[in-house]
Amino acid sequence: MTKTAEKVRIIGITGGTGAGKSEAARRFEELGFPVIDADRIGHELLEPGGEAVSAVLEAFGPEILTAGRIDRKKLGARVFADPEARQGLNAIAHPCIKHAIKRRVQALAARGHRTVILDAALIAESGEREACLDGLILVTSPEALRIQRLMKSRGLTRKEAVARIRAQTPPEKKLALADWVLDNEGSVADLRRRVERLAMELKDSEG
């Protein structure tokens, strides 16, 4: 992605799966910041008629279908167990996601928004921050706690939860790239309060 509008800031928010990134993004949205959810865009690409459906089916075959639709649980089991399969899926999905994000940022800028939050687990996975970002928030949480959350919220086994965590770049490798770090070792209320303080800082800096 490249910058699409000079008057809108794009603040990325990322964190390892189970860290609480989505909860933090939800609170930003409640506080009036428009949030673009890259994961949700990725899901939409796989819905019937979605931009990535035909290419994903060609790459992974009919075994990932349930009742004629791509079953994300089946697809996830494949890609989290096989790095090459994961790379293949990313090669299909990421360009589509980037184009969709660019379109949404342009639309939000046209409506007068000054700051947009981009919620994406895969920000800075390459070890470098994306050029489109004006700032980066990293949500952190101990791995053991993340495993517990994934098992509880998504019904994963411990083995499945660990595989999903290990499939991502270790969050500590993103610390040097982050402008703000939100620790989520405590309660949801604690995380929401941290988001509220940062939201005030972002609002104040809009000028």
Which range marks the domain in which residue 194 is found? 9-204
Which residues is 12 bridged to in the sheet?
118, 136
In degrees rounded to 5, what are phi and psi of residue 141?
A: -165, 145
1 domain residue, yes or no? no
Collect the ranges in the chain with pLDDT lower than 70. Answer: 1-6, 207
Hey, what are 17's tokens? 């799966």
- The torsion angles phi and psi of 44, rounded to 5 degrees, stand at -65, -35
**Within-domain flag for 96:** yes
Residue-level pLDDT at 108: 95
36 within domain boundaries: yes
According to the model, what pLDDT value does residue 6 have? Answer: 54
CB atoms within 10 A of CB 20: 25
Give tens-digit pLDDT for 37-81. Answer: 999 999 999 999 999 999 999 999 999 999 999 999 999 989 988
Strand partners, 116: 10
Q: What is the pTM of this model?
A: 0.87
User: Residue with structure tokens 């999903």?
Assistant: 164
**3 found inside a domain:** no
Residue 103 falls within a domain, yes or no?
yes
Q: Are 165 and 16 in contact (CB under 8 A)?
A: yes
- The answer to the question of residue 176 being in a domain is yes
Q: What 8-state DSSP symbol labels residue 47? A: S
Token duo for residue 98: 């980037």
What does the alpha-carbon distance between residue 92 and residue 30 come to, in Å, rounded to a whole number? 32
Q: What is the CATH number of the domain that holds 28?
A: 3.40.50.300
What pLDDT score was predicted for residue 126? 83
Residue 207: what pLDDT?
A: 61
Q: Which residues pair with 90 in a beta bridge?
A: none
When divided into structural domains, the chain yields a total of: 1
E strands present in the chain: 9-14, 35-37, 65-66, 69-70, 115-119, 135-140, 180-183
pLDDT of amino acid 43? 94
In a domain, 4, yes or no: no
